Structure 1
Amino acid sequence: MRRTAPDPADTDAWNAYLAEGNARQARKRVAADVLLRDPDGRLLLVNPTYKPGWDLPGGMAEANEPPEDAVRRELIEELGLHVTLLGLLVVDWVAPHGPWDDQIAFIFDGGTLDQDQADRLRPRDEELSEAAFVKPADAADRLRDRMRRRFEQALKALEAGRPLYLRDGAPVM
């Protein structure tokens, strides 16, 4: 039988109780990506050097980093791009696969870059070999299955004007 939580007024005991729970509870990996468009409505994809296939710009959150901060950090590190996020498009619970535990993946709306920004966009670190704006149908063809499903739902969320909750890329609600 689990012992009763200490009185929250006893700060040391309460913090020790919370730390014990924190150490035993599951941890989730968090990914955060962004949909960015150019003035022609094409979408930005990046070609990572560390895995096959193209991807949306973004990446993995660091420990205790909010997803929106993670995607902004990744855009600055990898593309030298500062973006104001316009909202959340999807939250996707990704089931365990291969050696990976489950994960929570976010896609945010990064809006439309002006033509000058789009023209100057280049990879800025060794994690990316290319960055390209492509038509939505061509983007879907370049993405791997899991990301393609999430990407297609993000486009639907953008069109509907409301975020979607997904499970392995499929709408749940």
Structure 2
Amino acid sequence: MSEQPTTMTTTVTTVAVGVARISWDAGQPVDVVRHEVVAALLDHDRVEALVDPADEAAQRTATWSGMRREGVMRGVPVDGAPADRIVYARLASDLPTHEPEGFRALLNSFLPRKRAISQLLMRDESERVLLCQLTYKQDWDLPGGVVEVGESPQVAVGREVEEELGLVITPGPLVLTDWLPPWSGWDDALCLVFDGGVRPASILEQVVRQEREIRSAEFCTLEQVDERCADFTARRVRSALTNLDGRGSSYTESGR
């Protein structure tokens, strides 16, 4: 006797007003899932799927059925135990994936993203470097901060310096790109150091600290940089200084 083919199913359940959740058996063709997503959007504003991070096939099915990756939901109850699930979803208002902008938005939802940090290398007439003593960690650092989504890194460092120190500085050229590996719960990141130029030491008299983040700001010698900064920050400062006149590498990893 010949074996009967196994019937694969796709399930669509309304989980909230206007929200449907879709699931499918392993091996279900993408075309079938895509058809069910489109059908569900006739009666719902949103269709979502919760996918096991270890199930790469299901992730591909979710993507190519037109659902965008939104993030990871942690601790979802699965068979009585907490588990992580990747959230994919499609909205009725999303552009069709056969349109270029809709397809780009789909790709953008799952392609890797990297955090960017912009910092300013400002010196005084004695070649000391401006450092900030921060409220949320022991070591000192260059002024600057995280680049917002859609923000120019060069604009970001000027914004951060104005917010944290009350100084309006036009950032100069990029001096150094420093890759920071994953560390102590942080994902990896790119640190972009811009030239802040040479300023009179008296500029510190104009500083208005954002007290929530900045304890103090000082121009420091390289010996003080080594004493006050984390080792990778001290290396970054030295690498950036070396590259001001093009003598060093414009790219480092953890300051090396």
> Residues 28 and 103 of structure 1 are in contact (CA less than 8 Å); yes or no, is this contact kept in structure 2?
yes
TM superposition score normalised by structure 1? 0.85
CA contact (8 A) 1:89 1:163 kept: no
Q: Answer yes or no: is the 8 Å Cα contact 2:118–2:194 preserved in 1.
A: yes
Shift of 1:122: 4.4
Tell me how far apart the structure 1 counterparts of residues 138 and 130 of structure 2 sit (CA, whole Å). 17
* Aligned twin of 1:91: 177
> What count of residue pairs does the alignment treat as equivalent?
164
Alignment deviations for residues 3-47 of structure 1 (CA, whole Å, 9 cap, x no partner): 8xxxxxx99611111011100111111101111112222111001
The TM-score, its normalising length taken from structure 2, stands at: 0.59
In 2 relative to 1, CA 161–63 (structure 1 residues): closer, same or farther, beyond 3 Å?
Answer: same
Contact 2:97–2:103 (8 Å) recurs in 1? no
SS in 1 for 2:190: strand
- State the one-letter code of the partner of 2:223: A
Which residue matches 1:7?
Answer: none
Matches within 5 A, 1:49-60: 49-60=135-146
> Alignment partner for residue 38 of structure 1, among 114, 117, 124?
124
CA distance in 2, matches of 1:65, 1:110: 19
Contact kept? 1:91, 1:164, Cα under 8 Å: yes
Alpha-carbon deviations, 1:120-157, whole Å to 9, x = none? Answer: 33423320001111112221221102211211110110
2:109 corresponds to: 23
In structure 1, distance between residues paired with 2:202 and 2:235 = 30
Q: Distance in 2 between matches of 1:116 and 1:138?
A: 19
Report the CA distance shift for 1:115/1:138 in structure 2 as closer, same or farther (over 3 A): closer
- Describe the SS at the equivalent of 2:140: coil
Supply the distance in 2 between the matched residues of 1:56 and 1:104 (Cα, whole angstroms). 15
- Which is greater in Rg? 2
Contact 1:140 1:152 in 2 (8 A): no
Aligned to 2:226: 140
Counterparts of 1:142 and 1:150, CA distance in 2: 13
1:124 maps to 2:199: no
Q: Among residues 131, 137, 156, which one is paired with 2:242 in the alignment?
A: 156
- Unmatched 5+ stretches in structure 2: 1-59, 65-95
Q: Which range moved further: 128-137 or 161-170?
A: 161-170
Counterparts of residues 79-118 of structure 1 (less than 5 Å): 79-118=165-204
Q: Is the 8 A contact 2:157 2:171 kept in 1?
A: no
Superposition CA RMSD, Å: 2.3
> How far apart, CA to CA, are the structure 1 residues paired with 2:186 and 2:204?
34
Identity of aligned residues (%): 36
CA positional deviation for 1:166? 1.3
